[in-house]
């Protein structure tokens, strides 16, 4: 039998362990993250125990047990597939300051009001990062005050479980899983062993009592969820809360969802009174659309299954030295390709020009469907001619200048028609049977035809 090492060094980022200290983790590559721990004593194989309930046919399981409970926040319900499933554990991860705690406190207050109205148990909010008085101050600011919302400030999982046992809540929110610690487990709060133990304890409570649990999680510098990968496997739903500090827009998208789809996106706006759901986020992504200004074109991107308008703005000016290429909200590689296509296929002289491309409202135009809008915005800016009013361009531009089809075109066009656009530039190879009737559709074989179709006549 191999001799067990006297000490074990475990990575605080990914949980990898080794018998000797290393400056860099061999698995995840993080520096200075290996902490010393005493190895756990080997345990005997578990014995068979009497089951808590007999196995039964899947057709005999009552369907009402998995009925979803709305959170009261429609945009979050959209991502969760309709609401919270009893016994489900949901992990909401995001960068510090993005608004995770504010959003979940609002969810807790709305769920508490619904619970009081329906005669259900109260909602329990456990904070390991703030005191109860600090949480109350935030609650007063966003209007999340209700007698049916219980607050507790704990950093020990044992005491947190005591609060759960006493309150028997209808919903539990823990902020955050990295701040709770188990006194029986070695390591500091937030370490791999502690995160595993705390999460396992909360999952056990959720499954035993049919209690929906929402956990707040931190992310690392590269955007991945802090802690061991087993954390994402233990929970039922993993949601990413995304947002840029320079933008009011916040997005919640499901990375894993055992009870629904993972291609839905919830939109929120950060305001002084909290985080507000945006059922129609187009106002953030579109300017006043002054049609007298050259260099603007709108496209329709897909965030999951949700179409979102993106206004692309381009500026082309003479260069006083080495030409600059500055982009914001778009992929630099795709802009470079569009510049090359415009030079080669349309004969535009852009090699000695400074080119700037940006999107309105901090939107991201990263998919190929925005190629046509980028190319038309740059051509409009170069020619100093505004495009025809009410135009939206959707399509990938190949290096030959050809407009290529994209996925989800009917959904994109339906949303464009709803927003009041009157002319849509789409690839020539488009199935006409699936196009909506509320917008005029112009099929174009290449970017030259597209430009001719959107330049005003006369």
237: enclosing H helix or E strand: strand 237-243
Q: DSSP class of residue 99?
A: S
Query: To 10 degrees, what angle do helices 447-454 and 332-346 make?
Result: 90
Residue 413 φ/ψ, nearest 5 degrees = -70, -35
**95 has binding-site annotation:** yes
**97 has binding-site annotation:** yes
**266 has binding-site annotation:** no
Q: How far apart are CA 281 and CA 437, in angstroms?
A: 23
Bond prior to 41 in cis (omega within 30° of 0): no
**139 has binding-site annotation:** no
Q: How far apart are CA 39 and CA 6, in angstroms?
A: 7
| Residues facing residue 311 across a β-bridge | 298
| Residues facing residue 283 across a β-bridge | none
**415 has binding-site annotation:** no
Question: How many C-beta atoms surround the C-beta of residue 108 within 10 A?
Answer: 30
Strands (E) across 294-379 are located at 296-303, 306-318, 325-328, 353-359
175: enclosing H helix or E strand: strand 171-175
End-to-end CA distance of the chain: 90
451: enclosing H helix or E strand: helix 447-454
In sequence order, what are the residues at sequence separation of 6 or more whose Cβ sits closer than 8 angstroms to the Cβ of residue 212?
Answer: 69, 84, 85, 86, 87, 88, 89, 90, 170, 171, 172, 206
**101 has binding-site annotation:** yes
Q: How far apart are CA 332 and CA 20, in angstroms?
A: 44
Q: DSSP class of residue 351?
A: T
Question: How many C-beta atoms surround the C-beta of residue 121 within 10 A?
Answer: 16
113: enclosing H helix or E strand: helix 100-118
HEC string for 255-268:
EEECCCCCCCEEEE
* Spatial contact of 247 and 361, defined as CB atoms under 8 Å apart: yes
HEC string for 386-433:
CCCCCEEECCEECCCCEEECCCCHHHHHHHHHHCCCCEEEEECCCCHH
**420 has binding-site annotation:** no
| Annotated binding-site residue numbers for ATP | 94-101
| Annotated binding-site residue numbers | 94-101
């Amino acid at each position: 039998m191999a001799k067990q090492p006297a000490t074990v060094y475990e990575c605080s980022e990914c949980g990898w362990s080794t018998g000797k200290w290393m400056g860099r983790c061999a698995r995840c590559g993080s520096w200075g993250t290996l902490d010393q721990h005493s190895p756990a004593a080997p345990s005997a194989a578990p014995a068979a125990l009497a089951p808590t309930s007999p196995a039964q046919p899947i057709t005999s399981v009552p369907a009402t047990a998995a009925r979803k409970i709305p959170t009261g926040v429609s945009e979050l319900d959209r991502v969760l597939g309709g609401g919270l499933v009893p016994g489900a554990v949901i992990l909401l991860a995001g960068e510090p300051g993005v608004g995770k705690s504010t959003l979940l406190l609002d969810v807790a207050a709305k769920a508490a009001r619904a619970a009081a109205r329906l005669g259900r148990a109260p909602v329990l909010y456990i904070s390991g990062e703030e005191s109860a008085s600090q949480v109350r101050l935030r609650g007063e600011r966003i209007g999340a005050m209700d007698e049916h919302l219980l607050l507790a400030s704990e950093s020990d999982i044992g005491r947190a479980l005591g609060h759960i046992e006493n309150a028997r809540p209808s919903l539990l929110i823990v902020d955050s899983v990295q701040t709770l610690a188990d006194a029986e487990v070695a390591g500091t709060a937030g370490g791999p062993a502690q995160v595993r133990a705390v999460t396992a304890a909360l999952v056990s409570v959720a499954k035993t009592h049919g209690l929906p649990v929402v956990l707040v999680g931190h992310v690392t510098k590269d955007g991945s969820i802090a802690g061991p990968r087993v954390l994402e496997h233990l929970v039922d739903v993993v949601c990413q809360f995304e947002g840029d500090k320079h933008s009011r827009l916040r997005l919640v998208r499901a990375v894993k969802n055992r009870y629904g789809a993972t291609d839905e996106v919830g939109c929120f706006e950060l305001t002084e009174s909290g985080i507000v759901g945006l059922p129609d986020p187009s106002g953030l992504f579109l300017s006043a659309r002054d049609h007298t200004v050259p260099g603007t074109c709108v496209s329709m991107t897909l965030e999951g299954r949700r179409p979102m308008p993106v206004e692309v703005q381009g500026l082309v000016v003479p260069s006083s030295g080495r030409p600059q290429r500055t982009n914001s909200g778009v992929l630099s590689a795709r802009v470079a390709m569009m510049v090359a296509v415009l030079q080669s296929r349309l004969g535009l002289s852009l090699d000695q020009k400074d080119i700037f491309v940006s999107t309105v409202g901090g939107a991201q135009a990263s998919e190929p469907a925005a190629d046509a809008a980028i190319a038309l915005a740059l051509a409009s800016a170069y020619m100093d001619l505004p495009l025809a009013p009410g135009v939206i361009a959707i399509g990938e531009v190949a290096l030959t200048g050809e407009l290529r089809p994209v996925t989800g075109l009917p959904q994109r066009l339906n949303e464009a028609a709803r927003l009041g656009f009157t002319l849509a530039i789409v690839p020539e190879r488009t199935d006409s049977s699936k196009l909506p009737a509320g917008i005029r559709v112009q099929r174009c074989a290449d970017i030259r035809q597209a430009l001719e179709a959107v330049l005003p006549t006369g």
